[in-house]
Amino acid sequence: MNIENIEAFVHVVHYGSFNKAAEALFLSQPSVTARIQSLEREMDCRLFDRMGKQVQLTEEGRQFLPYAQQLLQIYEKGKQIIQKRQSVRHELRIGCTVSVSNYMIPELLPQLRLQYPGLQFKLVTSTTDDIVNKVLNMEVDIGFVRNVSHPGLQSVKFYEDPIRLYTYPEHPLAGTAATAEAIIDQPFVFFECGSLDWQRIHRVFQSLDRPPKIEILTDSSETAKKLVLNKAGICFLPGLCVQKEVRDRLLFPVELAEVAGIAMQTNIISQSGKQSEIVKFLTSLPFG
């Protein structure tokens, strides 16, 4: 059964004439007539009684009308879904935390573009909790977040970023090994992102007689790094944040046994069963 014939039938019923239906469909009146005649041949009955320029449904036409309307509605819904998918098929919406946006995405996107040359990318930067909600609500396709678990999401480990103590080149501890006791009186810039990994850093000092000398608190790793570069103090920072500065010998690590093994874990989240190909590709990449 031709959907165009069904469309013509419903339009004629709605407008009450072949001419008005033809105008609405941007067709000629003979084309609409031909479609109705074709449908009547398929149905083996007359659907309209013609009375001059006016038309009236036959009994068979009245019986068929609700089914024709349902067919058109189903067809339109299906078409809308396909068109919507086609319109976003070449867009990958990525949600990520600020640190991922600063230090991971610039390395990952070029590799994604090579693997998926027709893909466009939309980046959304927010907190882990907000990104989790955006993935659940299908506002983004995948999210790069701290280590989280949610029954409605697939969460895959992507990267562990070691947290170490860093200082500027002229500092007496630069490039050395030390203990928590030895650094407690040093001026600290403290980057705090609120995750469990940073709580472990706090616990390093809880067994000591006095707290560390924290002079500046910030929730921005970039701000903390620049303060260390400007000799405002020493700071615990994720490795990705300082890769370039360490390579250029502008910052130096201080080996602290008490924080060995402490790292920030980044996971990729997506709705279960969705984006599996892209997640698999991302987790196969050498990174760090």
First and final C-alpha spacing in the chain: 59
What is the average pLDDT value for the chain, to the nearest integer? 88
Q: Which residues pair with 56 in a beta bridge?
A: 49
Strands 120-125 and 91-96: parallel
Q: Which two tokens stand for residue 88?
A: 């976003």
Q: What is the DSSP letter of 52?
A: T
248 against 288, higher pLDDT = 248
Query: Is 286 exposed, middle or buried, given 0-12, 13-18 or 19+ CB atoms closer than 10 A?
Result: exposed
Residue span(s) of the chain under CATH 1.10.10.10 come to 3-88
Q: What is the mean pLDDT of residues 65-94?
A: 78
CATH number of 3-88: 1.10.10.10
Instruction: State which fold the 159-264 domain adopts.
Output: D-Maltodextrin-Binding Protein; domain 2 (3.40.190)
29-43 and 3-15 helices cross at what angle (nearest 10)? 110
Give the range among 45-54, 158-167, 180-189 with minimum mean pLDDT. Answer: 45-54
Q: What is the mean pLDDT of residues 267-272?
A: 91
Range 92-158+265-284 classified under CATH 3.90.850.10: no
Q: What is the mean pLDDT of residues 205-231?
A: 89
The phi, psi pair for 11, rounded to 5°, reads: -70, -40
Distance CA 100, CA 25 (A): 51
Q: What is the mean pLDDT of residues 167-175?
A: 94
pLDDT at 62 over 90: yes
Give the range among 22-26, 171-175, 251-255 with minimum mean pLDDT. Answer: 22-26
pLDDT at 85 over 60: no
> Could you tell me the pTM of the whole model?
0.63
Distance CA 190, CA 224 (A): 7
Give the range among 56-60, 70-74, 192-196, 231-235 with minimum mean pLDDT. Answer: 192-196
Residue span(s) of the chain under CATH 3.40.190.10 come to 92-158+265-284, 159-264
196 against 201, higher pLDDT = 201
pLDDT at 88 over 70: no
